[in-house]
A and B are shown apart, each in its own frame.
Chain A
Amino acid sequence: DVKVTQSSRYLVKRTGEKVFLECVQDMDHENMFWYRQDPGLGLRLIYFSYDVKMKEKGDIPEGYSVSREKKERFSLILESASTNQTSMYLCASSSAGLDTEAFFGQGTRLTVV
């Protein structure tokens, strides 16, 4: 059974904190993605990675950074959390190729207070 696992289901952080969201996949996938999901806005791509140590900005990278030191792990970092980063964060992975399916984690609900 394929698995994408996000380290936390719920997180509450204070404004200004540095926040780490972790994602691990066990499918040996090349591609990994971080999205935020907001009502009415759908899924917006923050960053993605197509190989270890490789990353590209998505549509809304401001305020975020990522790290991919190992193939199975993709971390999203909020350098200084702000209230407008309160959201549901989804991690996904897929193998290389245009027509490959993306598998999603269960999501992390982050609240910044």
Chain B
Amino acid sequence: AQRVTQPEKLLSVFKGAPVELKCNYSYSGSPELFWYVQYSRQRLQLLLRHISRESIKGFTADLNKGETSFHLKKPFAQEEDSAMYYCAPRMDSSYKLIFGSGTRLLVRP
């Protein structure tokens, strides 16, 4: 069965500290991987996707196929990064887009 796990419900860090939001997936194929973010009172929106290999708002995500992980990282957290973050694998041969349970990131001043 397809599964995606975000083990931390809440991650609280101080401004300027490094951040790592964990995501592990279990899929039989080769999924495409996304991170979505929801800021307070805003719509859920794409943060970044693996295929683009880009850094968005200082965030990067590395795919580790051996560990089946796609952790989201930022070296220096900012207060405006406080939001809900969802990992979303999309399995090949399927139109499904499945989300993890989400991690709330709280960046304290």
B11 contacts A by Cβ under 8 Å: no
B 91-108 to A, binary, CB cutoff 8 A, 1 in contact else 0: 010011111111000000
Instruction: For B101, give the chain A residue with the smallest CB separation.
Output: A42
CB distance from B8 to the nearest CB of A (A): 12
Pair A45/B97 contact, Cβ less than 8 Å: yes
| Smallest CB gap from A101: residue in B | B46
- Chain B residues with CB under 8 A of A44: 99
Whether the Cβ atoms of A40 and B46 lie closer than 8 Å is no
Q: Which one of A16-24, A62-70, A77-85, A90-98 contacts B?
A: A90-98
Is chain B's interface secondary structure helix, strand, loop, or mixed overall? loop
Q: Which residues 39-59 in A have Cβ within 8 Å of B in the complex?
A: 40-45, 48, 50, 56, 58-59
With A43-B86, A98-B90 as contacts: A90 and B96 at CB distance below 8 Å? no
Which residue of chain B lies nearest to A41 when distances are taken between CB atoms in the complex? B101
B44 near A48 with CB under 8 A, answer no
Is A102 at the interface (CB under 8 A from chain B)? yes
A1: Cβ under 8 A from any B Cβ: no
User: A89 within 8 Å of B by Cβ?
Assistant: no
Residues of A within 8 A of B (CB): 31, 33, 35, 40-45, 48, 50, 56, 58-59, 90, 92, 94, 96, 98-99, 101-102, 104-107
